[in-house]
C-alpha cells in the first residue's frame, strides 16, 4: 500500500537523496522507536545511507547485512540473482530464462561476488563483530526494490539467524516486487510503489553511487553513538 494511502500525505517524490528517503521511511516506522530489541540493518552500499537515517529517527542501533547482486554480464545493473553472507544464493529465474548464458558465466559471477563480499566484510566491519540477531526485531533496509533479488537473499540470510520479527523496509519499490517479498518477512514497509515503476534511481533527485568511505563513516558514527566502537579503534 502506498504511503499516501496509509498516512493521508503525498510522498515527497522524487526523494532529494537517500538520507531524505531514510528520514521519510523512519517516520513511517516510529512504532519501533526507542525499543531495546530493535536493530536496523542496511544493505551496502546505498541501503546503508537510508538505514542510517532510519536508525537515527528511531534511535536504535545500526549494522549491515552484506549482500551482493549477481549482475548479468555486460548488463551489470540487471540482477540475475544475489548472494548474501552465509552462502545464501538467490536466482532471478525470470531474468535467467530470458538469457542465453553458458554455465561458466554463472560460476564466474558467483566467484566475483563472493570475493567482493569478503572485501566488504573486512572494509566495513573493521574488526567489529556483528550485532546479535537472534530474538530481536530486525528492520532490513535498502534504497529501493526493483527485481528484489538482493533483498530476498538478505532476508533469507537474516531469517536463518532466527530473529523474533523481520521487517523489510524501503522508501520506494515496484508494487509487484514488494508483494512478492512479503513472503520473506513478517512485515513489509514499501513506503511508496509508483506506477509505472521504471527503476529505483528514477525516484531520487540524487542517486549517486555510495562509496566505501561513506558506508564506513555512517557505521563508525552509529557505533560510536551506541558505545560500540570498532575493535581496531578500541
pTM above 0.85, yes or no: yes
DSSP codes joined into one string, 79-119: EEEEEETTTEEEE-HHHHHT----HHHHHHHHHHHHHHHHH
Task: Tell me how far apart the alpha carbons of residues 135 and 205 are, in angstroms, rounded to a whole number.
Answer: 38
C-alpha cell recorded at residue 229: 566502537
Q: Which has the closest alpha carbon to 169: 138, 198, 194?
A: 138
Alpha carbon 30 to its chain centroid, in Å, reads 19
What is the three-state SS of 68-85? EEEEECCEEEEEEEEEEC
Which residue in the block uniquely carries the three cell numbers 572485501? 119
The pLDDT value recorded for residue 3 is 41
Output the CA–CA distances (angstroms, integers) from residue 81 to 35, 125, 144, in the order listed.
Answer: 34, 24, 16
Task: Tell me how far apart the alpha carbons of residues 94 and 96 are, in angstroms, rounded to a whole number.
Answer: 6
Fold type of domain 3-66+130-223: Rossmann fold (3.40.50)
Tens of each residue's pLDDT in the chain, 234 residues: 344 334 446 778 999 999 999 999 999 999 999 999 999 999 999 999 999 999 999 999 999 999 988 877 777 777 788 899 888 998 888 878 887 778 888 888 888 889 999 999 999 988 888 999 999 999 999 999 998 989 999 999 999 999 999 999 999 999 999 999 999 999 999 999 999 998 999 999 999 999 999 999 999 999 888 766 544 332
Residues 6+ apart with CB under 8 A from 122: none
Amino acid at each position: 500500500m502506498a504511503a499516501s494511502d496509509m498516512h493521508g500525505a503525498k510522498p515527497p517524490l522524487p526523494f532529494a537523496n537517500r538520507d531524505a528517503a531514510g528520514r521519510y521511511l523512519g517516520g513511517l516506522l516510529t512504532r519501533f522507536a526507542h525499543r531495546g530489541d530493535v536493530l536496523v540493518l542496511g544493505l551496502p552500499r546505498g541501503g546503508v545511507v537510508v538505514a542510517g537515517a532510519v536508525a537515527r529517527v528511531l534511535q536504535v542501533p545500526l549494522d549491515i547485512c552484506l549482500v551482493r547482486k549477481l549482475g548479468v554480464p555486460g548488463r551489470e545493473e540487471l540482477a540475475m540473482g544475489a548472494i548474501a553472507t552465509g552462502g545464501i544464493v538467490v536466482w532471478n529465474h525470470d531474468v535467467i530464462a530470458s538469457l542465453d548464458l553458458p554455465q561458466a558465466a554463472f560460476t564466474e559471477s558467483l566467484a566475483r561476488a563472493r570475493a567482493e563480499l569478503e572485501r566488504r566484510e573486512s572494509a566495513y566491519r573493521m574488526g567489529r563483530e556483528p550485532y546479535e540477531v537472534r530474538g530481536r526485531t530486525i528492520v532490513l533496509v535498502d534504497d529501493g526494490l526493483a527485481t528484489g533479488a538482493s533483498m530476498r537473499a538478505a532476508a533469507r540470510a537474516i531469517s536463518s539467524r532466527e530473529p523474533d520479527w523481520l521487517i523489510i523496509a524501503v522508501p520506494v519499490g515496484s508494487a509487484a516486487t514488494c508483494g512478492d517479498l512479503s513472503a520473506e518477512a513478517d512485515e513489509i514497509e514499501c513506503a511508496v510503489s509508483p506506477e509505472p515503476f521504471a527503476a529505483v534511481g528514477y525516484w531520487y533527485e540524487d542517486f549517486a553511487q555510495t562509496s566505501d568511505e561513506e558506508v564506513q563513516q555512517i557505521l563508525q558514527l552509529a557505533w560510536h553513538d551506541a558505545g560500540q566502537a570498532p575493535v581496531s579503534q578500541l
